[in-house]
């Protein structure tokens, strides 16, 4: 029976090619525009580590006090850490896994003396950083907690820098000269470029282009050799001493912190710990204001830091509006088309076809229009996503990729939406009174 | 033209008419808001920077290891850069208008005992020739004298010690800031306070100098300080040259800096135009997407009108024939369909205006957009009416060509 309806639908669509083309065009356009905008939205708002984001937390401590908020005219407490507190929290080690980190940009001196030194980007982190963020290793692994303690000169390279320095080989155990000092390679991270750069949005703003980070060094080692911070620094008072050491002794915030907590009990106890830590600091005379802290789970943290640009949300709304307009349009056209065939429906009904048969026939036809619109929409979505490249900044556009799920979604949205739009016209068609139609003809 | 027959016909096609009205209303609402958002972006992208945009080059260096002789090195570099043919001026500065990266801001106070700052202002620091190199126009007072410049290190130390020695005594502000602080008065000779109530005298006013970012605080609230910085402190070399010489000078300058000390890494080398282009990339992208969406919307709506009008014309062939046989001219028939579309579009536009206003309210609450100016309503209405008339013209002409003889045929 379905085959018969398909045949009927095809005949009907062929009979008025103009109207059919209009409907297909409208659906194709609407679906493509919505999907293109949505793909951008999905790319920038996507959870970078969905299997674990509910276990990753970012603490914040009120180390500047209410006066600085009043003076600065804002309500939020510092979103990064000063050196003192970052080190204290690492020492107390109350989470399951945790790491303080800061952004560095050292120069790597190639072994080949003829080559120029190259500037690389990276992060100074603790050993627990790698298991916490599930960094994928190609060779070797992260360093040990012992290396953190001993302030060892070890490092983890990106796949890209490894290729550049050593060629595509397992370089674990070899050494790399960074600013005149030798570091032993303990691991090479396979291609890993999470977007947004969730572990340190304070310094990266979330999006850092298509380049993965080149190096990871032990935090303590980087501090020891005086490798300066390459990220943001915010101060509420000018440091007493100049330079990087001055920064470490200051109340300026420049260190990101992340902690993994596996269940509600751990979260609760970590909250108590933060509260206790702040109280203890207050008693020690560091602060003269009541303890205040925040502990945000990663998705909340990303939205708090406005990592997802408002722009994409607005454009998503606009795209949704466009889809609705297209559906209203399709509904109107389908209605026109179906009612034109009142005579045909009358004959079928008079010959004994039940209302359900009319439903089946016309919804099949609507579905076919939807499928055709979907195929056109697929093509146009492809064009749209390709065009996103020359309108959007590269780092965001690179994320708006055409993948199987997007294509399937486009087709599905097109068919479902058209069938929905066809419901009312079909209902109207099924109400046609056979007697009237037969009489007037 | 008699409207009653048109209205009574529409009443018989209630649902299709309503769908068309709804479509036009939604289109109207979305297009009004989208055009408004595009306008916002374009306004931002065209904000004046106050510098000689097409004449500036920026080079930022990163050193390897600590540098003790950064001051001497910077002086040597600048002297060499000024020798390059085509370079008119050269200096160092900590930031440029509309640029990425960290920016330097300070809290300005008008009274030393104030609890809360008067304004957050951008702090531009640079060496001798800062104004001339940036091409920022002085409109009152004077530029800094060569003897007034101090070193960055000394200034930071002085700020920390709360000691005015080692700090400059004077500064230059923008006209926008002057008007904000002392409306209708001359700013020259007035005193402002920074840090823990350290006084600074205003000796000059420049026409404009936009902030690096933080536009929401007031784009034009900037101050200029005679403070010499070095690459080690994150400052960039700024060169001014003729627009056509930029690429050649940039290449020569980078080569010269590498030659003076090969152990340095070039972090940034670009023309100011490139920097500005990059800064507004997001706004351009958003405007681009919105233009695409508007075009798609208008096309879809026009297609819808064509489709429904064609359907109606087909359905009413007989009636049209009868009217023609009874003496109606082609013009009458054409006018009938145009008027019908005008009416439907009118209903749609009226509903659309209400929707547009509601949508704008929603965006104002959730996305901090300003209120939609009134001018968008009549313009949006006119555009939709014109599109509607154009879309219906084809089917209407076909209707006008229906011969009277149709009336005598049975379908």
| Tens-digit pLDDT profile for residues B6-65 | 777 777 777 888 888 998 999 999 888 888 888 888 888 889 999 999 999 999 887 655
Q: How far apart are CA B26 and CA B355, in angstroms?
A: 7
Judge whether B255 is closer than 8 Å to chain A, CB to CB.
no
Q: How far is CA A86 from CA A104, A105, A172, A247, A340, in A?
A: 17, 20, 30, 13, 74
- Look at residue A369 in the predicted model and tell me its pLDDT: 87
Q: Is the pLDDT of residue B80 over 80?
A: yes
Phi, psi of B149 (to 5 degrees): -75, 140
Tokens encoding A99: 């790491």
What pairs with residue A132 in β-bridges? none
Whether the Cβ atoms of residue B387 and residue B294 lie closer than 8 Å to each other: no
pLDDT band at B84 (very low <50, low <70, confident <90, very high): very high
| CA B37 – CA A314 distance, rounded (Å) | 10
The whole-chain average pLDDT of chain B stands at: 86
Residue A102, strand partner residues: A124
Residues of chain A neighbouring B361 (CB-CB closer than 8 A): none
B246 secondary structure, DSSP code: H
Q: How many CB atoms lie within 10 A of CB B12?
A: 8
Name residues whose C-beta falls within 8 Å of residue A372's C-beta, 6 or more positions apart in sequence: A20, A24, A27
Using 50, 70 and 90 to split pLDDT, how confident is the model at A261?
very high
Interchain contact A332–B (C-beta under 8 A): yes
DSSP H or E run through A123: strand A122-125
Q: With an 8 Å Cβ cutoff, is B58 touching chain A?
A: no
For the segment B296-311, the average pLDDT, to the nearest whole number, is 85
DSSP A328: H
pLDDT of residue A390: 66
Option in B265, B285, B363 nearest A393 (CB): B285
| Of A40-54, A265-279, B275-289, minimum mean pLDDT range | A40-54
Record the pTM. 0.72
Contact present, B293 and B54 (Cβ < 8 Å): no
**pLDDT tens for each residue of A72-95:** 666 788 889 999 999 999 999 999
Residue B238 has pLDDT above 50, yes or no: yes
**Residue A41: pLDDT band by 50, 70, 90 thresholds?**
low
Query: How far is Cα B251 from Cα B256, in angstroms, rounded to an integer?
Result: 9
A-chain residues near B267 (CB < 8 A): 119
**Option in B33, B311, B367 nearest A336 (CB):** B311
Residue B93 has pLDDT above 90, yes or no: yes
Predicted local distance difference test score (pLDDT) of residue A441: 47
In DSSP notation, B150-203 reads EEHHHHHHHHHHT-STTS-SEEEEEHHHHHHHSTTS--TT-EEEETTTEEEEEE
Q: How far is CA A438 from CA A209, A347, A434, B274, B319, in A?
A: 68, 7, 6, 73, 21
Q: Of B354 and B165, which is predicted with more confidence? A: B354
CA A135 to chain centre: 17
Q: How far apart are CA B214 and CA A138, in angstroms?
A: 42
> Is residue B151 helix, strand or coil?
strand
Residues B57-68: tens digit of each pLDDT: 999 887 655 556
Nearest by CB to residue A180, choosing from B65, B285, B293, is: B65
Mean pLDDT of all residues in B290-312: 84
Taking phi over 0 as left and psi of -120 to 50 as alpha, with beta for the rest, A306 belongs to left
For B162-185, write each residue's pLDDT tens digit: 777 778 889 999 999 999 999 988
Give yes or no for residue B138 having a pLDDT over 70: yes
> pLDDT value at position B191?
92
Q: What would the pLDDT profile of B125-134 be if each residue is shown by its tens digit?
A: 999 889 999 9
Q: What is the pLDDT of residue A58?
A: 95
Residue B250 confidence class, pLDDT cut points 50, 70, 90: very high
User: Phi and psi of B242, rounded to 5°?
Assistant: -70, 145
Residue A296 pLDDT class (50, 70, 90 cuts): very high
Q: In B316-375, which residue ranges form alpha helices assigned H by DSSP?
A: 317-325, 330-367
Higher pLDDT, A221 or A435: A221
Start-to-end CA distance of chain A, whole Å, equals 28
Which pLDDT does position A73 carry in this prediction? 62
Q: Which of A97-101, A200-204, A347-351, B189-193 has the lowest mean pLDDT?
A: A200-204
pLDDT of residue A211: 60
How large is the average pLDDT for residues B358-376? 81
Q: Do A238 and B159 touch (CB under 8 A)?
A: yes
Residue A224: the pLDDT is 93
The predicted structure's pLDDT at residue A207: 56
Token couple for A342: 């009142």
> What stretches of A261-392 adopt beta strand conformation (E)?
293-297
């Amino acid at each position: 029976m379905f085959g018969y309806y398909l045949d009927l639908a095809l005949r009907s669509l062929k009979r008025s090619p103009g109207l059919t083309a209009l409907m297909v065009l409208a659906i194709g356009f609407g679906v493509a525009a919505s999907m293109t905008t949505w793909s951008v939205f999905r790319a920038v708002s996507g959870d970078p580590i969905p299997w674990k984001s509910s276990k990753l937390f970012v603490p914040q401590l009120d180390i500047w006090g209410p006066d600085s908020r009043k003076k600065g005219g804002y309500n939020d407490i510092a979103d990064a850490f000063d050196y003192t507190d970052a080190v204290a929290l690492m020492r107390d080690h109350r989470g399951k896994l945790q790491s303080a980190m800061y952004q560095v940009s050292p120069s790597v001196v190639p072994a080949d003396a003829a080559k120029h030194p190259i500037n690389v980007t990276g992060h100074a982190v603790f050993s627990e950083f790698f298991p916490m963020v599930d960094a994928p290793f190609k060779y070797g692994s992260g360093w040990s907690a012992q290396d953190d303690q001993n302030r060892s000169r070890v490092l983890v390279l990106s796949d890209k820098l490894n290729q550049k320095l050593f060629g595509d080989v397992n370089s674990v155990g070899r050494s790399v000269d960074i600013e005149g000092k030798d570091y032993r390679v303990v691991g090479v991270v396979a291609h890993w470029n999470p977007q947004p750069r969730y572990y340190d949005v304070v310094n990266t703003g979330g999006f850092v282009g298509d380049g993965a980070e080149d190096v990871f060094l032990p935090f303590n080692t980087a501090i020891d050799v005086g490798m300066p911070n390459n990220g943001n620094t915010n101060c509420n008072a000018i440091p007493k001493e100049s330079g990087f050491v001055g920064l470490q002794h200051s109340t300026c915030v420049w260190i990101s912190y992340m902690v993994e907590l596996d269940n509600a009990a751990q979260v609760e106890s970590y909250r108590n710990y933060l509260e206790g830590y702040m109280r203890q600091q207050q008693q020690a005379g560091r602060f003269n204001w009541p303890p205040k802290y925040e502990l945000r789970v990663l998705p909340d943290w990303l939205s708090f830091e406005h990592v997802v640009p408002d722009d994409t949300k607005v454009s998503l709304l606009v795209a949704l509006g466009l889809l609705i307009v297209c559906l209203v349009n399709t509904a109107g056209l389908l209605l026109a088309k179906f009612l034109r065939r009142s005579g045909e429906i009358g004959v079928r009904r008079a010959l004994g076809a039940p209302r359900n048969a009319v439903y089946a026939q016309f919804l099949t036809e609507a579905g076919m229009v939807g499928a055709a619109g979907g195929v056109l929409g697929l093509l146009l979505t492809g064009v749209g996503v390709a065009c996103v490249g020359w309108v959007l900044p590269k780092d965001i556009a690179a994320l708006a990729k055409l993948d199987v799920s997007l294509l399937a979604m486009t087709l599905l949205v097109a068919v479902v939406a058209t069938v929905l739009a066809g419901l009312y016209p079909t209902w109207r068609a099924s109400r046609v009174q056979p007697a009237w139609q037969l009489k007037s003809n | 033209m008699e409207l009653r027959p048109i209205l009574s016909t529409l009443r018989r096609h209630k649902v299709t008419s309503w769908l068309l009205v709804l479509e036009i209303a939604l289109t109207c609402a979305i297009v009004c808001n989208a055009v408004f958002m595009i306008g916002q972006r374009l306004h931002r992208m065209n904000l004046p920077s106050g510098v000689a945009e097409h004449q500036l080059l920026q080079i930022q260096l990163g050193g390897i290891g600590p540098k003790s002789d950064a001051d001497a090195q910077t002086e040597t570099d600048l002297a060499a850069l000024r020798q390059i043919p085509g370079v008119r001026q050269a200096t160092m500065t900590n930031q440029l208008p509309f640029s990425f990266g960290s920016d330097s801001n300070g809290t300005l106070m008008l009274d030393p005992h104030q609890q809360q700052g008067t304004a957050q202002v951008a702090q531009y620091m640079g060496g001798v020739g800062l104004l001339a190199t940036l091409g920022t126009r002085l409109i009152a007072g004077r530029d800094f004298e060569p003897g007034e410049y101090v070193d960055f290190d000394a200034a930071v130390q002085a700020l920390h010690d709360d000691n005015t020695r080692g700090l400059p005594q004077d500064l230059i502000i923008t006209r926008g800031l002057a008007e904000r602080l002392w409306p209708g008065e001359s700013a020259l000779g007035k005193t402002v306070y920074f840090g823990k109530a350290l006084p600074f005298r205003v000796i000059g006013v420049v026409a404009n100098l936009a902030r690096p970012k933080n536009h929401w605080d007031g784009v034009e609230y900037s101050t200029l300080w005679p403070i010499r910085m070095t690459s080690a402190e994150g400052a960039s070399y700024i060169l001014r040259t003729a627009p056509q010489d930029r690429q050649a000078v940039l290449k020569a300058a980078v080569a010269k800096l590498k030659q003076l000390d090969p152990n340095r890494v070039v972090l940034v080398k670009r023309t100011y135009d490139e920097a500005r282009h990059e800064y507004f990339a997001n706004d351009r992208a958003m405007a681009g997407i919105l233009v695409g969406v508007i075009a798609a919307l208008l096309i879809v709506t026009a297609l819808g009108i064509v489709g429904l009008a064609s359907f109606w014309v087909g359905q009413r062939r007989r009636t049209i024939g009868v009217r023609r046989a009874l003496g109606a001219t082609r013009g009458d028939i054409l006018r009938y369909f145009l008027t019908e579309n005008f009416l439907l579009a009118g209903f749609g536009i009226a509903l659309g205006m209400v929707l547009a206003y509601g949508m704008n309210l929603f965006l104002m609450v959730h996305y901090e957009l300003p209120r939609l100016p009134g001018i968008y309503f009549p313009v949006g209405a006119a555009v939709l009416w014109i599109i509607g008339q154009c879309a219906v013209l084809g089917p209407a002409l076909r209707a006008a060509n229906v011969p009277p003889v149709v009336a005598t045929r049975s379908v």
